[in-house]
Structure 1
Amino acid sequence: MFRRQKSLASERKKELFSQGATQFILRNDMRNFHFLSRLVLSAGPLKPTPAVKHSKKIHFEIEILDAQTKKQICILDKVTQSSTIHDVKQKLHKACPKWYPSRVGLQLECGGPFLKDHITIQSIAASSIVTLYVTDLGQQVSWTTVFLAEYTGPLLIYLLFYLRIPCIYDGKESARRLRHPVVHLACFCHCIHYIRYLLETLFVHKVSAGQTTLKNLIMICAFYWGFTSWIAYYINHPLYTPPMCEAGNHFINVMLSHPNHIGNNACFPSPNYNPFTWMFFLVSCPNYTYEIGSWISFTVMTQTLPGGLTA
């Protein structure tokens, strides 16, 4: 009897223990579920995974025609949309070696403007086939070469007239007549003017990396060299009878080559402690004002018509 009661008591304990364990597990499950639901709600709505876009490269066919004969020269295929006119010139030279990139001009239509090297094919293409007209621009020279030739010529030409070489003036007349003091001063001022130009071209001005035709070089040099010869002939003539704004012109050019910057924007120069820059109070481009003043002063000093026409 005693053993039976003992076994019943032990079974009762086991039953109570199992019920307590079950309740404990249920409580933990409820807590875990509650914690998980709060975590999901705090995370917000699920965002869909963005679809990966595969960029497809667009290729163009470039038909190259001769601008004069309208005949087809070649077709450049597989030209990407990011390719530039410079790249097209390189491909054209590779396909037809006689067309050098430095002397080739490309146009969308005959008689139209030449396309800049930085223009992309995508910006000018109306369809997958682009027609361009090619023109041989002739021999090309850099702008630095143009400016150096433009300013070196007048400097040397004037000195030849100043020395009164026999092939220009009569030797006996040149030896008999002494030079007027104004002649020496005019030579000095003229040389300073063009020496300043040469130094500014080499060390001050930021010359474009582009090129121009040999024809333009000849025309520019003919103008400067011709007027210099005309001026120098009369001023240095043995029968000739009778400073300036160069410093101001130089200082203004130095200021224009180094503009002020506010952030990424370049600001127009403003007057400073240098008195030559105070001309900015009156005009927007004092370098041209000083240039005109230089030639007017030179004309008044030498009293020659060519000097006035040059001004």
Structure 2
Amino acid sequence: MASKPITLQTESRGKRIPKLPSDTSIYVQGSTSDLYNRLAKETGLPATRLRITSDGKPMPNDKKITVSSAGLGSGSKIQVKDLGPQIAWRTVFVIEYLGPLLIHPLFYFLRPSIYRGATSPPSTLQTLSCITITLHFIKRELETLFVHRFSNATMPARNIFKNSFHYWVLSGLLIAYFTYSPTSITAGKGNPLLTYAGLALFAIGELANLNTHLVLRNLRSQGGTERGVPKGLGFDWVTCPNYLFETIAWTGILFINRSWSTAVFLVVAGVQMAAWAKKKESRYRKESGGKYQKKRSGAEKL
């Protein structure tokens, strides 16, 4: 015998949603994704633009979670929030990485037009800096398009400017301007041993980082939001080895160009990644329980 639909009481959370009905019906064995889609149809807003909560607890948009298992029954009250215009996370990453991917070659090839006195060809270190940084962001773009699977489909569109500052300004304009200048330390010959060490660290960091992303990708099915406990190279050392290997790769770039601007970016990025790793460590412990081996210093090791 088919189950009967239940009625949920609805109210706007924050800014009023004009077309939000006072109640909606959903089958108790229907998924929370079905609930999102129903409210999207009723309000005329995309499902990714809505956030549903019940008693202050967020309701995930998940095809595998039923309305019943989410704790909702007939007469339950839910709050619906309009998150505003959204943009796909994949698009966000493509835009973020596009900045430095364009900026570094432009500064490298247009040196005579940007800097006074830039009459000589770029130095070997400047060439290596451009190559390694460009390769890094090409890799990031390819991973975004073909490797990453996102647990959240979208983010508020207004955040794209804040998110892009880190890449377009810090890893893009700041590093490029002070790396390709004819008066930069990178314009000199430098220490060959330091350069070789930098290239080695860059290669090791990039390849290990890619491996980490492939491990994380295989934990989630196509279009799924499930999380698993990752295992493999680096995961027994730190919570997020992708951040660790990212730091190693950028340390290699710092060894190559010796620029203070690269050091600034590396410090800012390291602090941010440590904060993200700390949050992920807490989430692993909460969601996986005994399946997850706690790290003594999950974020601090980065």
Which category of TM-score, normalised to the shorter sequence, fits these structures? 0.5 to 0.7
Q: Residue 149 of structure 1 corresponds to which residue in structure 2?
A: 95
Identify if the C-alpha distance between structure 1 residues 117 and 159 changes in structure 2 by more than 3 Å, giving closer, same or farther: same
Tell me the secondary structure at the aligned position of residue 158 of structure 2.
helix
Larger radius of gyration: 1
Q: Deviations over 1:10-61 (max 9, x none)?
A: xxxxxxxxxxxxxxxxxxxxxxxxxxxxxxxxxxxxxxxxxxxxx5725321
Residue 238 in structure 1 maps to residue 182 in structure 2: yes
Deviation at 1:285, TM superposition (A): 5.7
Identify if the C-alpha distance between structure 1 residues 114 and 218 changes in structure 2 by more than 3 Å, giving closer, same or farther: farther
Letter in 1 for 2:117: E
* Cα distance in 1 between the residues matched to 2:230 and 2:16: 47
Residue 269 in structure 1 maps to residue 232 in structure 2: yes
Tell me the secondary structure at the aligned position of residue 239 of structure 1.
coil
Deviation at 1:180, TM superposition (A): 2.5
Q: Residue 76 of structure 2 corresponds to which residue in structure 1?
A: 130
* Cα distance in 1 between the residues matched to 2:163 and 2:17: 34
Deviation at 1:134, TM superposition (A): 1.4
Identify if the C-alpha distance between structure 1 residues 290 and 201 changes in structure 2 by more than 3 Å, giving closer, same or farther: same
Residue 139 in structure 1 maps to residue 102 in structure 2: no
Letter in 2 for 1:57: S
Q: Of 204, 208, 212, which residue of structure 2 is paired with 1:248?
A: 204
Residue 115 in structure 1 maps to residue 70 in structure 2: no
Identify if the C-alpha distance between structure 1 residues 246 and 206 changes in structure 2 by more than 3 Å, giving closer, same or farther: farther
Identify if the C-alpha distance between structure 1 residues 218 and 247 changes in structure 2 by more than 3 Å, giving closer, same or farther: same
* Cα distance in 1 between the residues matched to 2:38 and 2:4: 17
Identify if the C-alpha distance between structure 1 residues 196 and 100 changes in structure 2 by more than 3 Å, giving closer, same or farther: closer
TM-score by length of structure 1 reads 0.65
Q: Residue 183 of structure 1 corresponds to which residue in structure 2?
A: 126
Deviation at 1:258, TM superposition (A): 4.6
Q: Of 104, 107, 111, which residue of structure 2 is paired with 1:158?
A: 104
Q: Residue 173 of structure 2 corresponds to which residue in structure 1?
A: 229
TM-score by length of structure 2 reads 0.67
Structural RMSD (CA): 3.2
Identify if the C-alpha distance between structure 1 residues 281 and 89 changes in structure 2 by more than 3 Å, giving closer, same or farther: closer
Deviation at 1:232, TM superposition (A): 0.5
Residue 309 in structure 1 maps to residue 264 in structure 2: yes
Identify if the C-alpha distance between structure 1 residues 122 and 107 changes in structure 2 by more than 3 Å, giving closer, same or farther: same
Q: Return the structure number with greater relative CO, CA threshold 8 A, min gap 6.
A: 2
Letter in 2 for 1:248: I
* Cα distance in 2 between the residues matched to 1:155 and 1:91: 41
Aligned-residue sequence identity (percent) comes to 25
* Cα distance in 2 between the residues matched to 1:183 and 1:130: 63
Tell me the secondary structure at the aligned position of residue 78 of structure 2.
strand
Q: Deviations over 1:107-157 (max 9, x none)?
A: 224xx3532112432134465212111111122222221222222221101
Q: Deviations over 1:163-187 (max 9, x none)?
A: 33677x34x423x354332111111
Letter in 1 for 2:93: F
Contact 1:244 1:297 in 2 (8 A): yes
Identify if the C-alpha distance between structure 1 residues 199 and 92 changes in structure 2 by more than 3 Å, giving closer, same or farther: closer
* Cα distance in 2 between the residues matched to 1:255 and 1:177: 40
Identify if the C-alpha distance between structure 1 residues 133 and 193 changes in structure 2 by more than 3 Å, giving closer, same or farther: same
Aligned length: 240
Q: Residue 219 of structure 1 corresponds to which residue in structure 2?
A: 162
Tell me the secondary structure at the aligned position of residue 232 of structure 1.
helix
* Cα distance in 1 between the residues matched to 2:15 and 2:129: 54
Identify if the C-alpha distance between structure 1 residues 295 and 68 changes in structure 2 by more than 3 Å, giving closer, same or farther: same
Residue 62 in structure 1 maps to residue 17 in structure 2: no
Tell me the secondary structure at the aligned position of residue 57 of structure 1.
coil
Letter in 2 for 1:212: M
